[in-house]
Structures are given as C-alpha cells and as structure tokens.
Amino acid sequence: MDIKLNQNEYQETLENNKIVLLDFYADWCGPCQTLLPTIQKLAEEYEGKVAIKKVNVDENSELASQFQVRSIPTLIYFSEGQVVGRLTGLAPESELKTQLNKLISASKN
C-alpha cells in the first residue's frame, strides 16, 4: 500500500475523504523513521475509514509551508477538509488511534 502523498494529490485526497491524517516527515529524520511502521499499520487498519498519507517535506516544501510545519514528524488531522488537530513529535500508537476514533465517531453524528 503506497501511502506517500505529493502536492498534486493533496487536494483530491482531502476532497474524497471525510477524515485524513497527514504525516509530514523526511527520510533523514530519525523520529520520523521510528514512527513509520506505526503509520503504515494504521493506514492498513483504518483503510476505508481514514486516508492516512505521508508527506515528504523535502519533496513537498510548499505543502509543509502551507501548514507551517516547523519540525518533524508533524501529524495533522483533517475532518471534512478542515484542520481539526495537530501533533508534533513521536506519539504512541494508542494516542493516534484515540484521536482517529474520536474523528470517526464525530463524523457519524
């Protein structure tokens, strides 16, 4: 499953998915690499419910700038195309799941 996202796919992803999680990262970033298996696991687990995508800040600097990503990893949660949450740094899988589940519940109401 390819979860990388580029500048061109970004708008389409937001428009076609109720809930989106973007992970801003870089290949040279140690904490980003530590988070990678968790992000991939969540992408598979939440497939069909949440679009989980990785955004390489070196290749997509305009997108990183648009969302004022100053340090990585930065996770940005979207619901209905709007930013509803943000997390910078490493976070445990349980914390990410809690946030995703809250967004899924809220979108059903």
Domain 7-108 fold: Glutaredoxin (3.40.30)
Assess whether 25 carries a catalytic annotation.
no
pTM value > 0.85: yes
- From 3, 22, 32, 69, the catalytic residue: 32
Catalytic residue among 21, 29, 51, 100: 29
Any catalytic annotation for residue 32? yes
Neighbours of 24 (CB within 10 A): 24
Where along the chain do its domains lie? Answer: 7-108
Of residues 29 and 109, the one with the higher pLDDT is: 29
Q: Is the pLDDT of residue 107 over 70?
A: yes
Q: Which residue has the tokens 């709007």?
A: 82
Residues 6+ apart with CB under 8 A from 47: 1
Supply 109's token pair.
């109401």
pLDDT digits (tens, 9 = 90+) for 21-71: 999 999 999 999 999 999 999 999 999 999 999 999 999 999 999 999 999
